[in-house]
Amino acid sequence: MNGNELYLRDKNVIADVLKLRFFPVVAQRGKGSTLTDADSKEYLDFSAGWAVANTGYCHPRIIKAANEQMQKLSFSSLTSIMSEESILLGEKICALIDGDFEKKVWFGHSGSDANELLAKMLPLATKRPRIITFVGSYHGMTMGSYSMSGHPAQSTFIGGGNVIKIAYPYCYRCPFAKELETCNFFCLKYVKEFVLGSVVPANQVGAIIAEAVQSDGGDVVPPKGYFKELQRICKDNGIYLIFDEVKVGYGRTGKMFGFNHDEVNPDAVVLGKPMASGQPLSAVVGRKEIMDAATGAHLFTTGGNPVACACGLETLAIIEDGKLIKNAAVIGDYLKNEFLLLAKRYDVIGDVRGRGLIIGIELVLDRKSKKPASDLAAVVSYRCYELGLILFCTGISSNVLEMTPPLVLTKDEAKKAVGIIERSLSDAINNRVDEKKVKEFAGWAI
Ligand code: PMP
């Protein structure tokens, strides 16, 4: 079947509630950083399937690990039958996290079910009913993780009343209209004095959950020292600090975890997307008292199954070797510098930010008003698709071009992508893209 036929049939049969589409690619094959569609057209994939394919598509070691495990034991349910693969992976993941406290690990399938564990277990474990999260955060699509999220795609939904959302340190659009050079982390002073002072008493708050780079919220990178200070506030008030590393963990930022860029020791860490190179696998690793808060209260029949864990072990071995992490830092720096140069020539680029291979280009109508150029971002993303580059939009106004390519990306591929992005920007600004086609895709539908 050709791509157009598949597109029309997908439209008929696949539910809109699972769609976050910017253009019509039907993937058929993948290798490294390249996807091939049903019409044999090749794309450089600057999404890695929303930051999942860190090791690249069809990595031979992952294929081997999956095949071997499939032949040995295709399935057993960790809920009631133990497996060597889950134990080995669990031990390795516990060892990745610092902090001299007892740790345990839980396995699931997605970032959503992993964050759901926190929504359920934190009040039980801490005997404190409230949880603090951030405006713009994305923690998942199940009821609890939805409630904890602050992205408009989720916060239109009436969630749990026990979640308080505070401002993320989004310095390009500081909600307190401060400048980083002189603000002295006013946003944290606000948390300490107002949020914990009167919005919710500190002794009612079990945890603060943060993304080290707020990814779907627009690839926002907090200033250095922010999390260290946040951890101090948490410690002073007996509040756990937890990082959702579902999207940036496993090397993407140029370090193993996004929070490794600041001096913090989280009480728990949430993992997902790239953990098993695409096999459904997620994890929460954290203090024993959270993970053992109740027996059998957060289990999923196929979560942490042997095939997913075997792929998880092999993925971790590939990432831990360090080459891909280093590549993320080097190629990420190269890309960011190229985009900073681009910003000198295109006024619609309001901000370029990122860490390693998570980079955002925020598009604005003009630099003074900073009004989000959401329609332009959708057109650029579509034009990139036409020119052979997969690139999605993020941000609370969907005006940020997000780059999260596989960590195996080469310099030549990066160069090629920069060329396509520049041409797409130019074509979009000069109305050389058919906007009717772009409008067929709802994107974030916000
Ligand atoms: N946490 C973060 C930080 C995410 O970016 C996402 C997905 N974008 C999730 C959780 C949810 O993950 P999943 O879609 O696998 O449920």
Q: Using one digit for the tens of pLDDT, what is the confidence trace for 58-70? A: 999 999 999 999 9
pLDDT band at residue 236 using 50, 70 and 90 as cut-offs: very high
Expressed in angstroms and rounded, the spacing between residue 145 Cα and the centre of ligand 1 is 9
pLDDT band at residue 105 using 50, 70 and 90 as cut-offs: very high
Question: What are the residues whose beta carbons fall under 8 Å from the beta carbon of 132, sequence distance 6 or more?
Answer: 163, 164, 165, 166, 191, 195, 200, 205, 207, 208, 209, 239
- Ligand 1 atom nearest the C-alpha of 141 is 16
User: Span 326-335, mean pLDDT?
Assistant: 98
- Ligand 1 atom nearest the C-alpha of 211 is 3
Q: CA nearest 45: which of 28, 31, 59?
A: 31
In 157-168, which positions are buried (b, 16+ CB within 10 angstroms) versus exposed (e)? eebeebbbbbbb
Model confidence, pTM = 0.98
| Mutational test site, ligand 1, from 246, 271, 282, max ligand atoms within 8 Å of CB | 246
Q: What percentage of the chain has pLDDT greater than the value 90?
A: 97
CA 279, 8, 156 angle in degrees (round to 5)? Answer: 65
- Ligand 1 atom nearest the C-alpha of 272 is 15
- Ligand 1 atom nearest the C-alpha of 113 is 16
Residue 244 Cβ contacting ligand 1 at under 6 Å: yes
* pLDDT given at position 155: 77
Residue 159 predicted with pLDDT over 90: no
Domains (range + CATH), the chain:
3-59+323-445 (3.90.1150.10), 73-321 (3.40.640.10)
What count of other Cβ atoms lies within 10 Å of the Cβ of residue 21? 17
Expressed in angstroms and rounded, the spacing between residue 368 Cα and the centre of ligand 1 is 33
**What is the C-alpha separation between 154 and 146, in angstroms, rounded?**
6
Expressed in angstroms and rounded, the spacing between residue 215 Cα and the centre of ligand 1 is 9
Residue 116 Cβ contacting ligand 1 at under 6 Å: no
Residue 151 Cβ contacting ligand 1 at under 6 Å: no
Expressed in angstroms and rounded, the spacing between residue 240 Cα and the centre of ligand 1 is 21
* pLDDT given at position 153: 87
| Mutational test site, ligand 1, from 47, 112, 133, 358, max ligand atoms within 8 Å of CB | 112
Q: What percentage of the chain has pLDDT greater than the value 70?
A: 100
Tell me phi and psi for residue 244, to 5 degrees: -90, 100
| Mutational test site, ligand 1, from 137, 145, 247, 392, max ligand atoms within 8 Å of CB | 247
User: Span 411-418, mean pLDDT?
Assistant: 98
Tell me phi and psi for residue 13, to 5 degrees: -110, -30
Q: CA nearest 399: which of 253, 216, 180, 245?
A: 216
**What is the C-alpha separation between 243 and 285, in angstroms, rounded?**
10
| Mutational test site, ligand 1, from 138, 277, 444, max ligand atoms within 8 Å of CB | 138
Average pLDDT over all residues of the chain:
97
Residue 219 Cβ contacting ligand 1 at under 6 Å: no
Residue 247 Cβ contacting ligand 1 at under 6 Å: yes
Residue 215 Cβ contacting ligand 1 at under 6 Å: yes
3-state class of 430 per DSSP? Answer: coil
Residue 252 Cβ contacting ligand 1 at under 6 Å: no
What count of other Cβ atoms lies within 10 Å of the Cβ of residue 2? 11
Residue 196 predicted with pLDDT over 90: yes
Expressed in angstroms and rounded, the spacing between residue 114 Cα and the centre of ligand 1 is 9
> What pLDDT digit, counting tens, does each position of 111-157 carry?
999 999 999 999 999 999 999 999 999 999 999 999 999 999 887 77
Residue 140 Cβ contacting ligand 1 at under 6 Å: yes
Helices 323-345 and 306-320 meet at what angle, rounded to 10? 70
148 in Cβ contact with 224 (< 8 Å): no
Residue nearest (by alpha carbon) to ligand 1 atom 14: 111
In 352-379, which positions are buried (b, 16+ CB within 10 angstroms) versus exposed (e)? bbbbbbbbbbbbbbeeeeeebbbbbbbb
387 in Cβ contact with 44 (< 8 Å): no
Q: Which residues pair with 269 in a beta bridge?
A: 243, 285
3-state class of 283 per DSSP? Answer: strand
Expressed in angstroms and rounded, the spacing between residue 50 Cα and the centre of ligand 1 is 9
Expressed in angstroms and rounded, the spacing between residue 125 Cα and the centre of ligand 1 is 23
Expressed in angstroms and rounded, the spacing between residue 39 Cα and the centre of ligand 1 is 30
What count of other Cβ atoms lies within 10 Å of the Cβ of residue 77? 15
